[in-house]
Amino acid sequence: MRTVLAREMGGCSVLGRIWGVWRRRPGVRAVPKAPGFGTEAGHRLRPRGSSKRSRPLGGQPFPGLLQLENLSREELVDVLRAAVVDQKGKPGELTLFSVLPELSQSLGLGDQELQVVQASGKETSGLVLLSSCPQTASRLQKFFIYSRRAQRPTATYCAVTDGIPATSEGKIQAALKLEHVDGVDLVIPVKSPSRKDFQEGVKRTLSHFHVVAMGSGCALVQLQPLTVFPSQLQVHMVLQLCPVLGDHTYSARVGTVLDQRFLLPAESTKPQRQVPDEALLRRLCLTPSQAAQLPLHLHLHCLHLPGMRPGEAPMKLLAPLPSYFSRTLQCLGLHQQ
C-alpha cells in the first residue's frame, strides 16, 4: 500500500488527483502525519508551482477557508493548478466544472477533457478525484462500484460533531429520499419503506462511524459511507442526535429539552443556521454572527485506490485537514487517543 499526502489547499472544498498522465513529477520527500489523524504518510509529491495565490483572508475567524466569491476565473484556475500534487493529480470542486477546460489547458493536457471520478458534497472539504483519461476514469469508477457492492469502504471522512454518539463505533442504516421543499432539495428519512417507496426513489443507506476523540460536548468522528446518497453523512449524524458542526441544513432537526436531545419531524423542520450553545461558542472563540458562517466540518480525508498497473500496490491518498478544521480541534481539545 502506497500512501500519498495531497497538498493542503487553504480550506478550499476540494483536494484531489488526476489520473491518466503517468509521467512522475520530481521532488519526493518524507512528510509528517496528517493533522488530526494518525495515518502515516510515506511520501508527498511536490506540488506544481504557481505565480498567484488566493487573496488574504484578513480577520476571518476561519483560517484557511477559501472564498470562491472573491476569486476571478483566472485566480481560481491558478489556485487549483497550484494544488496539483503531480501531473496525474489536482483538486477541483463540483461547483467549479465551468473552469475545468481552462484548468486542462493550464496543465498542458491539450484536448484531453477533465472529468470527475469521485467527489463529495459541495460544502465538504477534502479530496476530489479528476481524470483526463477516459479508460482510467472508467476503471476507477468500476472499482468504486464493485467496492460498494462488496461493502468495502474506499473513503474515510473526518467530522466534528455537536454532541457525542451514544456508542464509540457502529453502523448507521437509514432509508432516505430526496424531496423538493420550498424550492430546496432536502434529504428525508423514511421509516418502514414499502416496495413502492423504493421504486419511487427511496434508497437504503449505510455508514460506519468511529469516535476518535471527545470533549467539550463534541466529538471527532471517522465516517465511512458504504452507499452513495446526497448529504448521507450529515443526515446519518443527525439521526445519531450529533449533527456535524457547521451543518446549517439538517442540524435544526435535533431539538433539546432539559438537556435531552430528540429528533424533530424532518418533513416539517425547515433548514436554519446552526446555533451552538454559549459554552461551545466560548470554546470556539466565536460570536453568534460568526457561528452563523461556520463551515461544515466534514472532510474527505482518505481514498483507497487500486494499483493502476498489474502487480502495482494499492494506493492510499490523504488530504490534510483545512486550517479552520485544525483550529476547531485545538479549541475543543480534540486529539487522537
Which pTM was predicted?
A: 0.74
217 compared with 132, residue with greater pLDDT: 217
Integer angstrom CA distances of residue 284 from 62, 101, 165, 207, 252: 10, 40, 20, 28, 20
246 compared with 28, residue with greater pLDDT: 246
C-alpha cell at 104: 486542462
Q: Is the pLDDT of residue 35 over 80?
A: no
Angle at 67 between CA 65 and CA 73, to 5 degrees: 135
The answer to whether the beta carbons of residues 103 and 77 sit under 8 Å apart is yes
User: At 207, is the pLDDT very low, low, confident or very high (cuts 50, 70, 90)?
Assistant: very high
Q: How far is 55 from 40, CA to CA, in rounded Å?
A: 32
Question: What's the rounded mean pLDDT across residues 5-22?
Answer: 34
pLDDT reported for residue 96:
54
Angle at 269 between CA 220 and CA 168, to 5 degrees: 20
120 compared with 83, residue with greater pLDDT: 120
Strands 218-225 and 254-257: unpaired
Lowest mean pLDDT among 77-86, 201-210, 257-266: 77-86
pLDDT reported for residue 210:
97
- What does the mean pLDDT of the chain come to? 78
Q: How far is 334 from 216, CA to CA, in rounded Å?
A: 9
Angle at 167 between CA 285 and CA 249, to 5 degrees: 50
Question: What's the rounded mean pLDDT across residues 47-52?
Answer: 38
Q: Quick one: which of 42, 49, 9, 3 has its CA closest to 26?
A: 49
Residue spans of the domains in the chain: they are 2-154, 156-291
Question: What's the rounded mean pLDDT across residues 213-234?
Answer: 95
Q: Is the pLDDT of residue 31 over 50?
A: no
Task: Considering only CA atoms, give the Rg of the chain.
Answer: 20
For residue 30, the SS3 value is coil
Determine the distance from the C-alpha atom of residue 327 to the mean position of all C-alpha atoms in its chain, rounded to a whole number: 17
Amino acid at 277: D
Place of cell 494499483: 307
The residues with which 131 forms a beta bridge, in sequence order, are 19, 115
Tell me the pLDDT tens digit for each residue of 290-303. Answer: 999 999 999 999 99
pLDDT reported for residue 90:
41
Q: Is the pLDDT of residue 108 over 90?
A: no
pLDDT reported for residue 68:
63
pLDDT reported for residue 2:
59
287 compared with 75, residue with greater pLDDT: 287
Q: Quick one: which of 127, 333, 125, 302 has its CA closest to 212?
A: 333
Tell me the pLDDT tens digit for each residue of 294-331. Answer: 999 999 999 999 987 778 888 898 989 999 999 999 99
